[in-house]
Amino acid sequence: MALLFSFYQFLSAFGQASHTDSSTYSKRPLKLEEVNFVSSYYNQDGNNSAVTGGIGTEKLVDLANVLDLVYLKTDKHNRLYNLNLEMGIDHYTSASSDKIDPSTVSSASSHDTRYYPSITLSRKDNKRTTLGIGLSYSNEFDYTSWGIGASYTKASKNNNREFSVHLQSYFDQWTVIYPIELRPPGGGFSGHGGGRKDNVPNTYKPRDSYSSSFSYSWVINKRFQMMTLMDLIYQTGLLATDYQRVYFTDNSERIENLPGKRFKLPLGLRANYFIGDRVIMRLYYRYYMDDWGIRSNTLSLEMPVKITPFMSISPFYRYYQQTVADYFAPYGMSTTGQTYYTSDYDLSKFSSQFFGAGIRFTPENGVFKMKHFTSLELRYGHYIRTTGLVSDIISLNATFK
Amino acid sequence: MINQRVFFRTIACMPILIFGLQSCAPVKEYQKQYLNDNEMQLSARKVEKSENSFQSYREGSAGANGGKTGGGCGCN
């Protein structure tokens, strides 16, 4: 924490420009307003690995870290500019992706690190209109992504209602990696999975994603507000994972094959209600449908309780259920007449529960009496799925102002 | 046997039926001490970022929560 605080002080020194000015309006320089550090540890296990055709270990550990900086500036017209810089680093180890080449004890595919920086800039004017643009990049061993987005938000005169639209596109590229025994002669990736090298260039395939997100929020009364959300999502390109195996009823084996297009439509509803002086109810519901046959329902409830004005505890529970995708079959059950096929249990029929609690500290004089360390939040959740997958996640959020 | 679709849609409609029928009287800025509380924000909190991510990876659905909708990484 001391290291993060020192980093915040270092950035503040560069974020504030001070100089005298004799013009008729006052300069409002770009100022570092807030720093957030989010870190999480995720651990899962199960026995339906898609890399080995729907059976086998799904053990995976992921450590994710995101640092985001919020800069604010007001111009001479009193328009508020918000510059958000974000840098994320995820490192994971996976027993299942290690099986891309099962002949090795441990291959290069057993772990990977993903880097994902992004920058967004928004401007809010005196007519309660906010416009924003953003750029993002992501890189991991076999996947590169470039993203671009734009947003528009309009609030009502009394700020009791707000409408927002966010457009986002990702232009991604896979490096094709086939299971080692299914690599065509002279192709399918070189150098990954234990030292076998095919002397041909790697094959690359694109995946593009487009989404339009709409939200409308409104105040019901002094204690109650709601929001509706709707996304229109379209993906095209390589939507299967080429190192995932599928086994058939005739004992043959192929690489997973899924349609090159997918349309998704999630609809969400949030409702937050302040009960008495200490308890908040946060309710969320989502209905989802896509053209791969999946229909799902998500319902979550969180009840933060303010133990003191500076500390709150938030137990939560989430229930999820989904129908099976049209192309899914368990291990060894796909039929050779199918055009599309997968044994990825993330696309099977299942229900899941996710529950846990969080604790949040916002002391008046700062966390650990550090004035700029305004908030510390810790959160633990346990996830269980009817397919047998089990996971745990611990998250931390530290805020400096 | 409860019809799951009917069950979830009924649950989703309950807050609307119970609370939404109250009049949407305008609330002035100085009356928003409860609405402006940090726990009352309508978006997902930053500490939930990784939870929303792993749920979109491990489940067939995504979106309508301010998080990932698809693309941007090899995980979805």
- Chain segment B1-37, per-residue pLDDT in tens: 445 665 566 555 555 555 554 446 789 999 999 999 9
List of domains in chain A: 41-400 (2.40.160.40)
Please give the average per-residue pLDDT across A52-70, as a whole number: 95
Nearest CB to B19; choose among A220, A230, A231: A220
Q: By percentage, how much of chain A surpasses pLDDT 90?
A: 78
Reported as a pLDDT band with limits 50, 70 and 90, residue A38 is: very high
Kindly determine whether residue B59 and residue A296, on different chains, have CB atoms separated by under 8 Å: yes
Subunit contact B20:A269, Cβ cutoff 8 A: no
CA dihedral sign of residues A341, A343, A344, A350: positive
ipTM of this predicted structure: 0.83
Closest CA relative to residue A271, chosen from A228, A234, A313, A312: A228
Q: What does the pLDDT look like over A268-317, one tens digit per residue?
A: 999 999 999 999 999 999 999 999 999 999 999 999 999 999 999 999 99
CA closest to A175 among chain B residues = B74
| pTM score | 0.86
> What pLDDT sits at residue A358?
97
How far A19 CA lies from chain B's nearest CA (Å)? 35
The chain-wide mean pLDDT, for chain B, equals: 79
What is the number of helices (H) and of strands (E) in chain A?
Answer: 1, 19
Residue from the list A230, A280, A395 with its beta carbon closest to the beta carbon of B40: A280
pLDDT of residue B34: 95
pLDDT exceeds cutoff 80 at A25: no
What is the average pLDDT across A102-126? 82
Query: What is the dihedral angle through the alpha carbons of A17, A22, A25, A30, rounded to the nearest 10 degrees?
Result: 0
Distance CA A251, CA A287 (A): 37
The sign one gets for the Cα dihedral A378, A218, B6, A343 is negative
Interface of B with A in 26-45 (CB under 8 A): 26-29, 31-32, 34-35, 37-42, 45
pLDDT on residue A30: 87
pLDDT at position A112 is 85
Count CB atoms within 10 A of the CB of residue A240. 21
Q: Determine, for residues A268 and B31 on separate chains, whether the beta-carbon distance falls below 8 Å.
A: no
Taking CB atoms and an 8 Å limit, are A385 and B60 in contact across chains? no
Work out the minimum CA distance from B68 to partner chain A, whole angstroms: 10
Distance (Å) of CA A281 to CA A216, A267, A284, A397, B42: 19, 20, 10, 21, 11
Contact residues, chain A, for B58 at CB < 8 Å:
44, 346, 352, 383, 385, 389, 391
- Top residue of A234, A286, A294, A385 to mutate, by most chain B CBs within 10 Å, is A286
DSSP string, A67-79: EEEEEEEE-TT-P
- Mean per-residue pLDDT, A200-211: 82
Chain B residues with beta carbon closer than 8 angstroms to that of A322: 59-61
What is the average pLDDT across B56-74?
88
Interface test with B, best of A145, A169, A231, A399 (most B CBs within 10 A): A231
* Cα A145–chain centre separation: 14
What is the mean predicted confidence (pLDDT) over A155-180?
93
- Provide, as residue numbers in chain A, all residues whose Cβ is less than 8 Å from the Cβ of B49: 38, 40, 66, 395
